[in-house]
Amino acid sequence: MNMYYIIRNNQQFGPYSIDVIASYVEDGKILKCDKACPVSNLQSVNTVGFYLKSNGRKIKIKNDGSLPQQLKDIGRELIFPKTIFSWKELLKDKRLLLLALIGLAPAFLISFIRIPFLTFYVISLYFSIIWGLFFYYFFKTPQVSTKVTVGLFFMLQLFVFLLWDVIGLPHWPGINLLYSFTDSGNIFLRVIGYIFGVGVLEETAKVLPLLLIIKRAKEPYIPQSMLFYGLMSGIAFGVFEGVQYQMTVNVELDYANAFFMNVARLTCLPFLHAIWAGIAGYFIAFANLYPKYRLSLYFLAIFVPAVIHGLYDVLGWSIPGLLLTVISVILLMSYLKQGVNYQSKLSK
């Protein structure tokens, strides 16, 4: 019987028989994208999934309980960390402060500066200096591929174009009904419309390319790597949406308002789309690393960003809406900081 070594993060485990490996994969202890090699041929390194398939093994990964039970096991701390509003911790985190300042300054400028020339000048200068290398500087990891990043950026826009403009997905009866609630005079229905008719639809579209990246993975992605790809997916969606609004809704506005909204649609709003999709990428990474909890983690990857997205659409540029944008950034950075703790919890 062939025996195999398992290789993860340059550490070697085993050897194990194919039966033991299959059992461990079903339990989520070994991943299909982990590397493996036969004891008899140490140079023949490939994925665990490859050797399972070559041995005729079909694997069904177990779910550890129902969705409510998984959410209970994960605990509230994973979703809403206790330290999220600790000013002492926030002020110590220079990355968080820079991230919030760079990403959210345009939103506050658009809301509070009412002198058009000053607003135009400050925002134009601001984005000409920093926008280019922003996400690369903060979140790129050695696992991140430039080729995959560029492909993701253009693939997402093409994908959304096909779904939105060619297939007309937002106009399908069920989705269109939910979207119609966004015009309701009832605040409860409006929230439902924006969360489920807008948030869930758009966040799902941003997540699908991330699932393709995970499916094609040759090694387990760390959370920060998938968070980076989520950010790029969100930026791509924001750019697509921004261009659409410029060509339709914004042209009906007067000059000053059109300029404000054009700037927002091509700068700050893509940033928010990126933050929400980055949160989704974070949960998707954990769903891949700990497949026993994938049901709840995939649910959170859509639900958490969709709720924030929907509430922001309801609140708009109001003070509560702006505060929600700040909370979005804080939440993403808090998730990233707590990654090691979450891994310890989910690996039990």
Residues 29-46, mean pLDDT to the nearest whole number: 92
Predicted confidence band at 132 (pLDDT cuts at 50, 70, 90)? very low
Strand partners, 8: 11
pLDDT tens digit string along 217-268? Answer: 889 999 999 999 999 899 888 878 877 776 777 667 777 777 777 777 777 8
Residues 318-345, mean pLDDT to the nearest whole number: 87
User: Residue 198 above 90 pLDDT?
Assistant: yes
Contact 238, 274 (CB under 8 A): yes
pLDDT given at position 236: 84
Give the CA radius of gyration of the chain: 22
Query: Yes or no: is domain 3-54 CATH 3.30.1490.40?
Result: yes
Residues 11-30, mean pLDDT to the nearest whole number: 91
pLDDT given at position 14: 87
Domain residue extents for the chain: 3-54, 67-346
pLDDT given at position 189: 93
The two three-digit tokens of residue 329, written as one number: 């950034």
For 244-269, give one letter per residue: b (16+ CB within 10 A) or e.
bbeeeebeeeeeeeebbbbbbbbbbb
Quick one: what percent of the chain has pLDDT higher than 90? 41
Residues 60-71, mean pLDDT to the nearest whole number: 87
User: Residue 185 above 60 pLDDT?
Assistant: yes
Residues 325-330, mean pLDDT to the nearest whole number: 93
pLDDT given at position 261: 77
Using CA atoms, how far apart are residues 135 and 169, in angstroms rounded to an integer?
30
For 314-333, give one letter per residue: b (16+ CB within 10 A) or e.
bbeeeeebbebbebbbbbbb
Residues 76-86, mean pLDDT to the nearest whole number: 74
